[in-house]
Amino acid sequence: MALDRIRKRPEDHAGANLDDYERCAASFSWTQARSLLDGLPGGGLNIAHEAVDRHVQAGRGGKLALRWIGRDDQIRDFSYADLAAQTSRFANVLAQFGVGKGERVYSLLGRSPELYIAALGTLKNGSVFSPLFSAFGPEPIKARMSIGGAKVLITSEAFYLRKVEPWRKELDSLALVLLTECSGNPPTATVDLAAVMTAASETFETVRTEPEDMALVHFTSGTTGRPKGAVHVHEAVVAHHITGRFALDLHADDIFWCTADPGWITGTSYGIVSPLTNGATMIVDQAEFDAERWYRILQDQKVTVWYTAPTAIRMLMKAGAQIPKRFDLSRLRFISSVGEPLNPEAVVWGVEAFGKPIHDNWWQTETGGIMISNYPAMDVKPGSMGRPLPGITAGIVERRNGEICEIDKPMAMGELALRPGWPSMMRAYLHEEERYRKCFAGGWYLTGDLAMRDADGYYWFVGRSDDVIKSAGHLVGPFEVESALMEHPAVAEVGVIGLPDPAAGEMVKAYVALKEGFEANELLRKELLGHARKRLGPAVAPKDIAFRQNLPKTRSGKIMRRLLKARELGLPEGDISTLESEER
Partner 1 sequence: MSSVEIHSVVCEELNNIAPEVDMQSVNPSADLREALDIDSMDFLNFITAIHRRLGVDIPELDYPKLITLDGAITYLQKKLGGGNKG
Q: At its nearest, how many Å lie between partner 1 and the CB of residue 112?
A: 13
Looking at residue 81, the DSSP 8-state letter turns out to be H
Work out which of 418, 539, 551, 563 binds partner 1, going by CB under 8 A. 539
Positions 11 through 30 that interact with partner 1 (CB under 8 A) = none
- Residue 315 in contact with partner 1, rule: CB under 8 A: yes
Distance in Å, CB of 161 to partner 1, minimum: 13
Buried b or exposed e, range 183-207, using 16+ CB within 10 angstroms: eeebeeebbbbeebbeebeeebebb
Q: Are 190 and 27 within 8 A, CB to CB?
A: no
Q: Figure out which of the listed residues 251, 531, 553, 562 binds partner 1, where binding follows CB under 8 A.
A: 531
Q: What is the DSSP string of 24-37?
A: HHHH--HHHHHTTS
Handedness of CA 238, 241, 244, 246 (dihedral sign): negative
| Closest to partner 1 by CB, 227 or 537 | 537
Binding of partner 1 by 526 (CB under 8 A)? yes
The span of 9-17, 179-187, 273-281, 315-323 binding partner 1 (CB under 8 A) equals: 315-323
- Member of 379, 527, 568, 580 binding partner 1 (CB under 8 A): 527
- Nearer Cβ to partner 1, position 51 or 108? 108
Q: Which of 62, 166, 538, 574 binds partner 1 (CB under 8 A)?
A: 538
Per-residue binder mask for partner 1 (CB under 8 A), 352-381, x = binder: ------------------------------
Q: Are 21 and 13 in contact (CB under 8 A)?
A: no
Name the nearest CA neighbour of 466 among 476, 454, 458, 456. Answer: 476
**Residues numbered 316-335 forming contacts with partner 1, rule: CB under 8 A:** 318-320, 323
For partner 1, the binding residue among 222, 537, 542, 552 (CB under 8 A) is 537
Closest CA to 130 of 113, 109, 156, 112: 109
Q: How many chain residues touch partner 1 (CB under 8 A)?
A: 32
- Rounded to whole angstroms, how far apart are CA atoms 19 and 9? 11
CB 501, min distance to partner 1, A = 7
Alpha-carbon distances, residue 75 vs 72, 254, 284, 471 (angstroms): 9, 19, 10, 31
For the chain, count helices (H), then strands (E).
Answer: 19, 30
Checking DSSP bridges between strand 104-108 and strand 128-132, what pairing results, if any?
parallel
* Distance between CA atoms of residues 572 and 11, nearest Å: 48
Separation CA 525–CA 545 (nearest Å): 7
- Quote the least distance from Cβ 507 to partner 1, whole Å: 7
Name the percent of the chain in helix, strand, coil, to the closest 5: 30, 25, 40
* CB of 290 vs partner 1, minimal distance in Å: 5
Judging by DSSP bridges, how do beta strands 414-418 and 394-400 pair with one another?
antiparallel
Q: In terms of CB distance, is 63 or 162 closer to partner 1?
A: 162
- Measured from the CB atom, is 38 or 527 closer to partner 1? 527
Nearest CB to partner 1, comparing residues 61 and 324: 324
Q: Which is nearer to partner 1, 83 or 182 (CB)?
A: 182
Asked if residue 191 binds partner 1 (CB under 8 A), the reply is no
386: β partners: 459
Distances (CA, A) of 54 to 129, 277, 505: 20, 9, 40
Does the footprint of partner 1 cover residue 73 (CB under 8 A)?
Answer: no
Residues 330 and 328: their CA atoms lie apart, in Å, by 6
| Alpha carbons 296 and 310: distance in angstroms, whole number | 19
As measured in angstroms, the least distance from the Cβ of 157 to partner 1 is: 14
Q: Which is nearer to partner 1, 219 or 295 (CB)?
A: 295
Beta carbon of residue 463, minimum distance to partner 1 (angstroms, whole number) = 21
Binding mask 284-313 for partner 1 (x = CB under 8 A): ----xxxxxx-----------------x--
Question: In the stretch 101-140, what mask flags binding to partner 1 with x, by CB under 8 A?
Answer: ----------------------------------x-x---
Among 492, 503, 566, 579, binds partner 1 (CB under 8 A): 503
Q: Could you tell me if residue 271 is left (phi over 0), alpha (psi between -120 and 50 degrees) or otherwise beta? A: alpha
The binding site for partner 1 (CB under 8 A) comprises 71, 135, 137, 288-293, 311, 315, 318-320, 323, 471-472, 501, 503-504, 507, 526-527, 529-531, 533-534, 537-539, 543
